[in-house]
Chains A and B, each alone.
Chain A
């Protein structure tokens, strides 16, 4: 079955710098890759997603890139702000699967 690995587990960046979180997946049939953000004490919420027929997707300061050959995808946050501090989860799945396979999460700390 699918396995998703996420790195790093903790990432500390200076406010205004960029942050990159990487995930690798094992099932070459996976075709949908969402990213969720979970603020402290809150529920996870979708922030961006990408399908396998697209190499990159942007939404303001957030972007996701996908490398199908290497089977990895990354979340890029530019010009980080204090409100970006949270735990970020990646996930992967394919059309025939009812479940999202989740990464272990990355705690992003924005230093003032």
Chain B
């Protein structure tokens, strides 16, 4: 049971490039989340999903897109990368909604946009 896995661990992008951050969970969780964490700051929700085919915006969705074609996978797409997207990105999952169920986090993807 690997839990939540993320790839890549680290990536450098040039301004204007695009990339997809991968997230996979093997716990059969319905709920999945993408957060970003800027240096020395807290967690900000980008997008979340309550099941395959269902996604919704969080607090800071601009510049990102998501899809959820399977229960296991929840990729995050960055289009036209900007320096403001330099951050650590965490994917998380839980078996129900936020009330009473632990969110399990992946190890994170560190992204640097130059």
Spell out A's residues near B (CB within 8 Å). Answer: 31-32, 34, 42-46, 49, 51, 89, 91, 93-100, 102-105
A32–B43 CB distance below 8 A: no
Partner of A97, one of B42, B90, B99: B99
**Chain A residues within an 8 Å CB radius of B106:** 43
| Given A89-B42, A104-B42, A95:B105 Cβ within 8 A | no
Taking a contact as CB atoms closer than 8 A, the residue among B42, B98, B107 that contacts A32 in the complex is B98
How many contacting A-B pairs (Cβ < 8 A)?
A: 55
Is B70 part of the binding interface, using a Cβ–Cβ cutoff of 8 Å? no
Scoring B residues 55 to 86 as 1 if CB is less than 8 Å from chain A, else 0, what string do you get? 01010000000000000000000000000000
Tally of contact residues, B, Cβ under 8 A = 21
26 A-B residue contacts at CB 8 Å?
A: A32-B98, A32-B99, A44-B105, A45-B105, A46-B102, A46-B103, A89-B43, A93-B97, A94-B99, A95-B100, A97-B97, A97-B98, A97-B99, A98-B50, A98-B97, A99-B33, A99-B48, A99-B58, A100-B98, A102-B42, A102-B43, A103-B42, A104-B41, A104-B42, A105-B41, A105-B42
Cβ-defined contact, A51 with B100, below 8 A: yes
Docked complex Cα distance between A59 and B31 (Å): 27
B43 and A99 form a contact (CB under 8 A): no
